[in-house]
Structure 1
């Protein structure tokens, strides 16, 4: 993937990255206000989401911020520096997600009512804040609104399979 300078080049980008704490995530900038993602490992490994509304902006050439609030009440702010293969993320988990992460490990789109009910049933404060730097180890522009990029639940070995297929097509 060539260097990304402007927002129109960032749209359609697909990333795989590992936070310094070891958590592996996958992220697709679907269009100017929507993202899809899969969480492969970590506290909520196995969770995946499509069509999450987000605020996506260019900070300066080659630096982009993506922010959103999930139906769980989790707030996320990601700063991507793709030309340097790095990012910084801050995840603000509500208390209930930190104490009951298994509730969120699903295809969220099919369980929004469960997420909303859990926000009411369990405590949301204090938030469990996870600020982490990460390293991008895969990036490719898949085009805007490509429903094939994130189309199934994450599974063990998925990242390795994706990487081996990519190498086969290189």
Structure 2
């Protein structure tokens, strides 16, 4: 009998922020796994710099939502709030955060807050690579446009970034705050992204 695969996770939906369907309890299927306490990262706000010099900022609102701003690189000045995340504690102080954007791009961060490193992967949709200016905005205010561009494509080939980053700034801001990432990167005060601790 041929094997039947479930491809539902790859079917776009019209959810306000996320464009995938999730297994509500993937951990329930595996008997041996790290403790799934996710409290360590909730409310953390970080600034990180990839080995290629690109700078990003992320605020972990709660166990399933995050906000980010991109400060440099091909899509600098793009920002998103209330991005739906898939999160798992992979053990040894490391968490995996993954999401699919309404643009069709796929992102994943492996984050170790104690040792202050990240390994990031993103597969950037080809339509963004062809004209980055189409996505350099506050995504939440332009979801219909992002889906339209995604559906018109092209999505492939994805432009892949696969790199380590250093967490250069970290603070605890508390959960579910709307004032941590709430404006375009160009509106931030001078020196904001260069803070270190």
- TM normalised by structure 2 equals 0.77
Q: Which residue in 1 is equivalent to 2:166?
A: 135
In terms of Rg, which structure is larger? 2
Question: In structure 2, how many angstroms separate the alpha carbons of the residues matched to 1:42 and 1:144?
Answer: 28
Tell me whether 1:53 sits opposite 2:84 in the alignment: yes
Which of 127, 144, 153 in structure 1 is aligned with 2:175? 144
Question: In structure 2, how many angstroms separate the alpha carbons of the residues matched to 1:158 and 1:24?
Answer: 16
Question: In structure 1, how many angstroms separate the alpha carbons of the residues matched to 2:40 and 2:172?
Answer: 8
Q: Any conservation in 1 of the 2:88–2:96 contact (CA below 8 Å)?
A: yes
Which of 66, 81, 99 in structure 1 is aligned with 2:97? 66
Shift in Å, 1:157: 6.3
Which of 95, 98, 121 in structure 2 is aligned with 1:90? 121
Q: Which residue in 2 is equivalent to 1:104?
A: 135
Q: Which residue in 2 is equivalent to 1:25?
A: 56
Question: In structure 1, how many angstroms separate the alpha carbons of the residues matched to 2:167 and 2:150?
Answer: 32
Shift in Å, 1:9: 1.6
Question: Cα–Cα, structure 1 residues 19 and 155, in superposed 2: closer, same or farther, change >3 Å?
Answer: same
Tell me whether 1:12 sits opposite 2:43 in the alignment: yes
Higher percent of residues as helix: 1
Tell me whether 1:78 sits opposite 2:109 in the alignment: yes
Query: How many pairs were matched up?
Result: 161
SS at structure 2 position matched to 1:115: helix
Higher percent of residues as strand: 1
* Bigger RCO of structures 1 and 2 (CA < 8 A, at least 6 apart): 1
Shift in Å, 1:159: 6.8
Question: In structure 2, how many angstroms separate the alpha carbons of the residues matched to 1:135 and 1:162?
Answer: 13
1:68-89 Cα shifts (integer Å, max 9, x gaps):
0000001001000111111000
Q: Any conservation in 1 of the 2:47–2:193 contact (CA below 8 Å)?
A: no
Q: Which residue in 2 is equivalent to 1:3?
A: none
Question: Cα–Cα, structure 1 residues 28 and 95, in superposed 2: closer, same or farther, change >3 Å?
Answer: same
Runs of 4 or more, structure 1, over 4 Å off, are 156-159
